[in-house]
Every structure is written in structure tokens, then in C-alpha cells.
Amino acid sequence: MGYYKVVNDGFDFQELDLEIDDLLEYFPASMSTDEAYNFSQSNLSLKSFWPSFQTGFSLIDGEKNLMPDISYWIGATFVVSPKAYRFLSKFLSQYGELLPFSVEGEDYYIFNCLNMVSVKPVLSHPEEPDFRGISDLQLNDIVKPSAPFLPRIYCNDRFRDAVNSFGLSGIAFIEL
């Protein structure tokens, strides 16, 4: 079984025009700005206060500006297109929450990974865990490591194969 870090697939794809700053007013008043910015590191569910809103994608100068089916957003999150949602929603919902928003009248989703694992890996880079040797039970299909690592999404062959078999574009898998 292979293990992978999930990243955006180069610069050919447009990026979601949304920052945490755009959503801060919806976070509970009891939550600090720092907590809001680090929601994915804290395994914080956003579903109870997630607003209904519209946004778009940003064009990148000098690039192809393709529309991604699924793309890395911030922390341990993805942007999921209507197509990717049709194919992956049941799969993804096992590992986190799918938060809706609208782009030009179409329903898109932010996948907020809530499947955090605590690992004591061998480090190949100070910010990157090395998941080799972790059993399938410890590394489910989609995970994010607990602190002190950067909040990223990691997966095994099952998620990578699902994305590839449905021909979804926008993310790439870096083998660990």
C-alpha cells in the first residue's frame, strides 16, 4: 500500500477566491481569530456555523486557467466541484464534513478533513511526516497528522485510485 501527500496539480487550474478572512464574521464570537485561522489544525468542525455564500475562482496570469474538479484549499481542506461531489461525497463524508457554497449557481463544497491521526513518524523533512510502516488501520483512506506538522491531507491508494478512476482533475499525489 502506498501513502501520498495530496497537493494541487501544478498551476494549470484556477484557485478558489476565498480566504478565511472572508468567513471570520461567521465564526462564533467566543472563538479567537487565531483559532479560526487554525481550524484545520484543531480538528474544528465548521458545519454548525457555516454560512450560505457565493464566490468564484481566480484566474492566474499566464496559465491555462482550467477548472479543477477537486483542489487543495488551505490547511487540511479541499474544494470539491459538483462533478467530484457526485463521485466522492459518500467517500469523503466518512473522513470529514462537506460545507456547501455556490459558484455561478452551481453547488460546490469545502471538504474539511476531521480525520486526524497522531503519529510519531520518521521525518524526511521537518514539516513532513513519513508514513511508511503505518498499518492501513492507522492510516485510513484520508488523514491529517496531528501537530506539530503542517495541516495537509494524506491518503493511501484507495483515495488516489478513486480520484484517478473517475478522471477527476486538479490534485496530484506525491508518494511518501
pLDDT tens, position by position, 10-22: 889 999 999 999 9
The model carries a pTM of 0.87
Q: With contact defined as beta carbons under 8 Å apart, do 9 and 78 qualify?
A: no
Residue 41 CA: distances (Å) to CA of 12, 87, 88: 28, 27, 23
Instruction: Give the number of domains in the chain.
Output: 1
Helical H segments across the chain, by residue range: 33-37, 82-92, 157-165
pLDDT tens, position by position, 95-136: 999 999 999 999 999 999 998 876 655 455 556 666 555 554
Domain that holds residue 108: 3-175
Q: Which three cell numbers stand for residue 22?
A: 472572508
